[in-house]
Chain A
């Protein structure tokens, strides 16, 4: 039971390049999330998927796209990377579903460290 896995662990891009960050969970969770964390800051939500087939914008969605490929996988794409997107990206999942209510616990992956030059 690996929990939440993310690939790659590290990535260096040049401005304008594109890339996709991959996230997968093996806990049969309904909800998945993408956050970014800049140095010395808390996490900020980029996009989330409350259930398979749905996605919603978070606090900082500009410059990103997401795909909920299936229940297990939720990818984050940078179409044209900018230096301002240099950050650590965390994926998370939770059991989800309205019936869960406040008993939501999010489980986080180890993060992807992205440097855009």
Chain B
């Protein structure tokens, strides 16, 4: 079973920031938080990951609470092409542990 909880769907106006929450209250000290997204029927695409510090890359920002029990993925200026299902995944640091996908959040960006 997925170790994360996400809302099933969210809407966001084009050009506005999209804030996608994720609850991972049982996260262990050696587990990272990963975010992937899946646009329509394509294969999932990696977005970002983090351990305890906030992270930013060209696609998004990841804010992890101090207790690491939840996080928020931020798309700063959502576009129509960001409409997708977003998956929040926790994974141990070491070894080749595969990703476990839940149902994710379906983000609809509206013009």
Question: Which residues does A use to contact B, with CB under 8 Å?
Answer: 4, 31, 33, 35, 40-45, 48, 50-51, 58-59, 88, 90, 92, 94, 96-98, 101-111
Contacts and interface: CB of A to CB of B under 8 A. Distances in A.
Contacts of A58: 98
B5 to A, nearest CB: 13
Contacts, number: 65
**B contact residues, range:** 20 to 34
Nearest to A99: B94
A104 B94 contact: no
B43 A42 contact: no
8 contacts: A31-B96, A43-B99, A90-B43, A92-B44, A94-B96, A102-B49, A102-B92, A107-B46
A102 B93 contact: yes
The A interface is mostly helix, strand or loop, or mixed, namely loop
B45 A42 contact: no
B43 A110 contact: yes
Interface of B: 2, 32, 36, 41-46, 49, 51, 87, 91-96, 98-104
Select the residue from B92, B93, B98 with max chain A CB neighbours within 10 A.
B98
A98 to B, nearest CB: 6
Nearest to B48: A105
Given A42-B104, A50-B96, A111 B41 contact: yes
Given A43-B44, A92-B43, A102 B102 contact: no
A50 B57 CA distance: 27
Contacts of A40: 103
Given A41-B103, A42-B87, A97-B96, 18 more contacts: A40-B103, A42-B102, A42-B103, A42-B104, A43-B44, A43-B99, A43-B101, A45-B99, A48-B98, A51-B96, A59-B100, A92-B44, A102-B91, A102-B92, A102-B94, A103-B49, A105-B49, A109-B43
A101 B87 contact: no
A60 to B, nearest CB: 12
A104 B93 CA distance: 9
A109 B41 CA distance: 11
A29 B96 CA distance: 12
